Every structure is written in structure tokens, then in C-alpha cells.
């Protein structure tokens, strides 16, 4: 029994060392997502499909599948479902807040409607973005979170619902009922022809409740505005100005130039629960949740999808992290010849133990 326990410990430490070396390779740092930390989607037509759920999968299994879909720029869609469903991820380094610049971008699958009858409209399924700094240095997303203030705070005053809360209930293979804290109720429809699977996250508990900022309706029915030979139904989901995920196309009209203004996030836009700006020099975790609760005809519920994310100024982030580490120093790190592995700018591993910059 002792021999088995020792083998498990050795394998566990080997895994930690391998990860530490992979994500802190100074010759090849990554500007892309390195791992997903949390995945708790709301129900929706793409849930249990993007990524695929297999019978018996646990929450950790689904998180692993999300990592496989997004890490290292794999660019496979992950669906968050209806309002509130979220994902949390991190990079292999802290992302610095560079003054006057977009600091990181989140890529989705929004696109301009093909006929260009409605400029600034197509399939904008805006996700609200949140950021967190690993203040306690434990490598987990358990520190205070701050929401990124988007354009709706400025151009849709009175139409944004802060503190919106919704609860979904299981209804196997049926429409998913929901109630909110505004006295409303409804259900998520099904489209069995194209999405015949269960829409409620199979691995999560009944009665999922999400709370956050509900953005204004952006989907409108323009059926009749296009020839019926083109489409019998024509819904347009208009793009918001800035500050959201899966809200605007990933590229500009030339389809080659990245849409940094539309998909990029400035850490300086972070606000606290009172919508007061906060000053963050770095962030270590990013969370995205679906910010809309609306049904758009045959499109069904509005669901944010994530294709990936990247640091828009990798060199600046790495340099800022080095400077912060040099200034603060590493305390209580044993002075011996054992190798040291830096997990991120504030966490080191030596002899199988973690040490933190104070």
C-alpha cells in the first residue's frame, strides 16, 4: 500500500513539473489560452455538444475538453448556453494592463449578415467579460472578480439590467423552464431536427442559478426585408460598440485584419460591483458569461460561443511580470541545488512544494 501511495505521489509531482516547464518556457511563451479553470454553461441548443458530453463525464472531464478545444489556439468552439452560462480560463503568464491599449482579445463566431442590408448587424451574441488578479497567489480563480464595462454602460443607459438573476430547471428532452428575479418566467425552445441532444448540462445539478449583467435586446425580426428565395426567416442581432466577447466579427471587412477594436479588451475598463473603476496592473484569470436573455425565432436562445483568446502584447506582459518578480523577490525559497520551476509570475515550485511571491 505504501509503495502504491509513493508511486501516485511521484506521478503527481512529475505532472506538476511537466506543466510548470511547458507553461514557463522562456524560449516559447504563449500568447494564447493555456487552460480552462471552470465551465458551467446554462442550458442551450449547443450544450452537451460543444464540447461533446459522454455518459459519465464529470465537471472536470468537461473542463478538460474545453481546454482541449481552446488551449494553444486550437480554435474549436465552446458554447456557454443561455444567459449566465460561463467559462473561466488563464494564460501561462499574467497579462499586463498597458496604458491606452487593448490588452487581450476574445474570439468568437459573430459575423456580419451576408446581404449587408443592416450594417453593424448579424449574429452578435455578446458575452460579458470579467477579470481577476491572483492576489493570494494560489493559482486558483478564487480572488475578487471585476466586470469589464462595455459600451452599453454609456449608450444604453437605463436599458442594462445589473444584478439580473435567472434559474433553470431540468426537463429531460423538453423545453427548459426558467424564472428570474424580476418576476418573469419562460422556457428555452428546442430544435430537434438539428440539435436533438439534451439541452440541460448533463453533468451539472438541477436548478442552475446565474447572476450578472443583462444586456439590452439586440435581436430583431426582419423577415420580409429579404427575398423569400434567400430566407424564409431573417433575424438580425446587432453588434454592441465595444467591451464584450462574441459580439463583433473576429476580422474586419477584408477578413484578414483582426478586429482589435471590436474584440479587444482593455483591463482599464474593469469596474467593481458599484460600477466604480478599479486599477489593476495585472490580471491572471478571465471569465466570460452570456449577457443576453432573449429568443430570436428559429435562432432560438442567444448563446455566447468562445473560439479562443490571446494576449495582445505578449512581450510587454512578460517584461512587466519579470520586473514585478525582481522588485518583490521570492521569499522562503529553500537555498539548495534542487531545480526551481516558475508556474507564473508569482508562483514557484521546488521539491514538489509551491512558494509564493509576497
278 and 258 together in one domain:
yes
Give the count of domains, the chain.
2
152 and 162 together in one domain:
yes
Question: Considering the domain boundaries, does residue 260 fall inside one?
Answer: yes
210 and 65 together in one domain:
yes
Kindly give, in sequence order, each residue whose CB lies less than 8 Å from that of residue 80, ignoring residues fewer than 6 positions away. Answer: 41, 42, 44, 86, 87, 127, 288, 289, 290, 303, 304, 305, 306
- Candidate from 80-84, 271-275, 330-334 with smallest mean pLDDT: 330-334
First and final C-alpha spacing in the chain: 38
24 and 35 together in one domain:
no
CA 310, CA 166: separation in Å to the nearest integer?
A: 30
Question: Considering the domain boundaries, does residue 88 fall inside one?
Answer: yes
17 and 135 together in one domain:
no
212 and 338 together in one domain:
no
Question: Considering the domain boundaries, does residue 318 fall inside one?
Answer: no
303 and 164 together in one domain:
yes
57 and 2 together in one domain:
no
162 and 252 together in one domain:
yes
Per-residue pLDDT tens for 43-96? Answer: 999 999 999 999 999 999 999 999 999 999 999 999 999 999 999 999 999 999
102 and 162 together in one domain:
yes
Question: Considering the domain boundaries, does residue 322 fall inside one?
Answer: no
20 and 40 together in one domain:
no
Question: Considering the domain boundaries, does residue 87 fall inside one?
Answer: yes
> Of the candidates 186, 184, 188, which has an alpha carbon nearest to the alpha carbon of residue 199?
188
270 and 151 together in one domain:
yes
pTM recorded for the entire structure: 0.86
Q: What pLDDT, on a 0 to 100 scale, did the predictor assign at position 323?
A: 76
Per-residue pLDDT tens for 301-331? Answer: 999 999 999 999 999 999 887 777 665 455 5
Q: What pLDDT, on a 0 to 100 scale, did the predictor assign at position 137?
A: 87
Question: Considering the domain boundaries, does residue 320 fall inside one?
Answer: no
Domain that holds residue 100: 31-312
Question: Considering the domain boundaries, does residue 272 fall inside one?
Answer: yes
Check: CB of residue 284 under 8 Å from CB of residue 97. Answer: no
Amino acid at each position: 500500500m505504501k509503495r502504491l501511495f509513493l508511486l501516485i505521489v511521484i506521478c503527481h509531482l512529475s505532472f506538476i513539473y511537466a506543466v510548470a516547464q511547458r507553461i514557463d518556457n522562456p524560449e516559447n511563451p504563449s500568447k494564447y489560452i493555456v487552460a480552462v479553470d471552470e465551465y458551467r454553461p446554462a442550458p442551450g441548443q449547443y450544450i452537451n455538444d460543444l464540447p461533446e458530453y459522454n455518459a459519465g463525464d464529470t465537471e472536470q472531464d468537461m473542463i478538460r475538453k474545453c481546454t482541449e478545444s481552446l488551449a494553444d489556439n486550437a480554435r474549436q468552439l465552446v458554447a456557454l448556453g443561455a444567459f449566465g452560462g460561463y467559462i473561466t480560463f488563464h494564460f501561462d503568464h499574467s497579462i499586463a494592463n498597458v496604458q491606452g491599449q487593448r490588452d487581450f482579445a476574445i474570439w468568437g463566431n459573430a459575423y456580419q449578415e451576408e446581404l449587408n442590408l443592416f450594417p453593424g448587424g448579424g449574429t452578435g451574441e455578446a458575452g460579458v467579460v470579467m477579470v481577476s488578479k491572483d492576489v493570494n497567489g494560489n493559482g486558483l480563480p478564487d480572488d475578487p472578480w471585476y466586470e469589464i464595462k462595455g459600451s452599453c454602460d454609456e449608450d444604453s443607459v437605463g436599458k442594462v439590467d445589473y444584478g439580473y438573476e435567472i434559474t433553470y430547471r431540468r426537463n429531460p428532452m423538453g423545453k427548459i423552464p426558467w424564472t428570474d428575479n424580476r418576476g418573469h418566467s419562460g422556457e428555452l425552445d428546442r430544435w430537434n431536427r438539428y440539435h436533438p441532444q439534451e439541452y440541460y448540462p448533463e453533468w451539472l445539478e438541477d436548478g442552475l442559478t446565474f447572476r450578472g449583467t443583462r444586456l439590452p435586446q439586440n435581436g430583431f425580426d426582419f423577415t420580409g426585408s429579404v427575398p423569400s428565395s434567400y430566407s424564409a426567416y431573417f433575424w438580425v442581432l446587432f453588434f454592441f460598440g465595444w467591451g464584450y466577447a462574441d459580439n463583433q466579427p473576429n476580422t474586419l471587412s477584408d477578413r484578414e485584419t483582426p478586429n482589435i477594436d471590436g474584440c479587444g479588451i482593455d483591463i482599464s475598463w474593469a469596474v467593481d460591483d458599484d460600477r466604480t473603476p478599479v486599477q489593476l496592473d495585472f490580471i491572471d484569470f478571465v471569465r466570460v458569461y452570456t449577457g443576453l436573455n432573449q429568443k430570436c425565432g428559429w435562432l432560438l436562445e442567444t448563446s455566447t460561443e468562445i473560439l479562443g483568446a490571446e494576449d495582445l502584447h505578449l512581450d510587454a506582459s512578460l517584461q512587466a511580470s519579470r520586473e514585478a518578480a525582481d522588485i518583490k523577490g521570492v521569499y522562503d525559497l529553500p537555498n539548495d541545488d534542487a531545480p526551481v520551476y516558475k508556474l507564473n509570475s508569482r508562483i514557484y515550485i521546488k521539491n514538489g512544494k509551491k512558494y509564493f511571491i509576497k
